[in-house]
Structure 1
Amino acid sequence: MLKNTARSIRTRATAGLVTAAALTVALAGCGQDSTSPEEARGQAVGKTTAKGSGGGSHSPVDCATVKCIALTFDAGPGPHTPQLLDILKEKKVHATFFLLGKRHVDTYPEIVRRAAAEGHEIANHTWTHQRLDQLKPDEIRSELDRTQQAVKALTGREPTLMRPPQGRTNNDVKAVTEELGLSQVLWSATAKDYDTTDSALIQKRILDQAGRDGIILLHDIYDGTVPAVPGIIDELRKRGYTFVTVPQLLAPGTPRPGTLYRP
């Protein structure tokens, strides 16, 4: 039954995500100015590290002096997410989860609660993974607010971060996210794990792209992704990286609603 459920989720998710195969970070968020983690920190020198929206606070990390990188997962939760949470707990890593609402948050509420309770940052990836830059403002608002309210009902907190599907955004998205108190977060490293089940290849793609102040994009709904995570963590730690959530990466800056953050 679990295999059938996982296969069904992959099929639905692939339909919404496969067009991202041609997407590059250079194209993502085109037409909008973006703020880097370094710039976010510089705008708030002297402030203390902020708490995230994941349900817990973490020890302050000064990413101005420490070699930081953020691990993020899109389009879950799903059947593989508990295994991922076990790995992250064992490795003592906190990640940022950009969750889908329909067939994910509403299907796996106990996993959402667990991720929040274990101190991970819970963020918004819309309700149905539609490209927001192709929607009207009211439709954008519905896509985001439905997930906001679903997460709040489970964790007691609304997310403060969102990731637009395929990284596609525009001024309407900026206006609605500002209204809803959401910051936009893109990425610097992606494994394109929607087109392979080869965990070794997923690991190599991430390690080849990893850099200081980076934001790693993975999807915990695909078969090859979660098995790649331990190797990614271990190798990056050997290279001197400290894993942080996205709010920690920006601290002492606080994510500003509507702002587009990209390494």
Structure 2
Amino acid sequence: MPKKMSPFGTGLAAALVAALTLTLSGCSMQTTAPGSARRDAASDAKGSFGQVDCRRAKCIALTFDAGPAKDTPHLLDVLKEKKVPATFFLLGRDHVLKHPGTVRRIEAEGHEVANHTWTHEILTDREPDEIRAELEKTQRAIERITGKKPRLMRPPQGRTDDTVSGICAELGLSQILWSATAKDYSTNDSALIRKRILDQAGRDGIILLHDIYPGTVPAVPGIIDALKDRGYTFVTVPQLMAPAEPEPGTVYRP
């Protein structure tokens, strides 16, 4: 049986399992589905659909949390070979700062670079100044490397509230949750990770994976190939909701 591993420690890994289960079973915050945002903007004839019109294409967004890490360059090779864009929610202190070249490459290869806080603190447990610092530090670090501030963030463990949302609005950040998770923090079994995602995948969905765990990146080629065979088109999160623009502070969840 594969050994469980977590760079955050066993205590946080256990908390992550419980929190993700709670989050996915129901969110008390008001959320907006990317498809709904797209339809509302399209009906008002606002904005551009860009390269993909997800009204017609069967779109899905592939996202990766908590990197970059040592396996991220290989993941980028896979995405480049298969012509798949993704959205990367990056951690600041121990990841962005340690892998600036990888951050630069993520941006250069057309992926969406997003914010996953500075140290993976649970924002709803923190004071407003601490929440702001967790997000602002990562914003500044990414901007120094890429020249751009992220417009998306993902709250650790999916935990958010009105205070977090208000600070995100001030910082120009939309909050992005998900519809499919492999719980890859709990297993290194790539076949199981692939199966879990394929079982949960749906149109206008957002897939949550972590490029920091050993079983995840090896599972990605099979996930991509199987979903392409089902007729899916991979897009970034902003492309999923185009022509709508991500609205700062809003919580998006399929």
TM-score range, shorter chain: over 0.9
| Percentage of pairs with the same residue | 63
**Amino acid of the residue matched to residue 40 of structure 2?**
Q
SS at match of 1:107: coil
- Structure 1 equivalent of residue 126 of structure 2: 135
Say yes or no: does 1:227 pair with 2:218.
yes
Amino acid at match of 2:207: I
The alignment status of 1:101 with 2:97, answered yes or no, reads no
| Distance (whole Å) between structure 2 residues aligned to residue 95 and residue 13 of structure 1 | 27
* CA deviation after TM superposition for structure 1 residue 13, in Å: 6.1
The structural deviation recorded for 1:65 is 1.4
- Aligned residues of 2:154 and 2:176 also touching (Cα < 8 A): yes
Matches within 5 A, 1:5-154: 10-12=6-8, 16-24=12-20, 27=23, 30-45=27-42, 46-49=45-48, 59-154=50-145
Secondary structure at 1:194 match in 2:
coil
How far is the alpha carbon of 1:48 from its aligned partner? 3.3
Alpha-carbon contact 1:188-1:216 (below 8 Å) kept: yes
Q: Which residue of 2 aligns with 1:6?
A: none
Find the aligned partners of 2:207 and 2:9 in 1 and give their Cα distance.
Answer: 19
Residue type at the aligned position of 1:180: L
Corresponding residue SS for 2:218: helix
Change (3 A) 1:226 1:242: same
- Name the count of aligned residue pairs: 247
Q: How much does 1:10 deviate?
A: 4.2
- Asked if 1:161 corresponds to 2:152, the answer is yes
Shift of 1:37: 1.2
What is the CA–CA distance in structure 2 between the aligned matches of 1:119 and 1:44, rounded to whole Å? 24
TM-score w.r.t. structure 1 length? 0.90
Partner SS, residue 69 of structure 1:
strand
TM-score by length of 2: 0.93
Structure 1 residues 78 and 13, CA, compared in 2 at 3 Å: closer, same or farther? farther
- 2: CA distance between counterparts of 1:174 and 1:117? 29
Does the 8 Å contact 2:87/2:111 carry over to 1? Answer: yes
Report if the CA contact (8 A) 2:90-2:96 is conserved. yes
Deviation at 1:16, TM superposition (A): 3.9
1:190 and 2:181 are equivalent in the alignment: yes
- Over aligned residues, Cα RMSD in angstroms? 1.6
Deviations 1:40-88 (Å, cap 9, x if unpaired)?
A: 11221123337xxxxxxxx521111110000000000000000000000
* Structure 2: distance between partners of 1:181 and 1:195: 33
Q: Which amino acid aligns with 1:181?
A: G
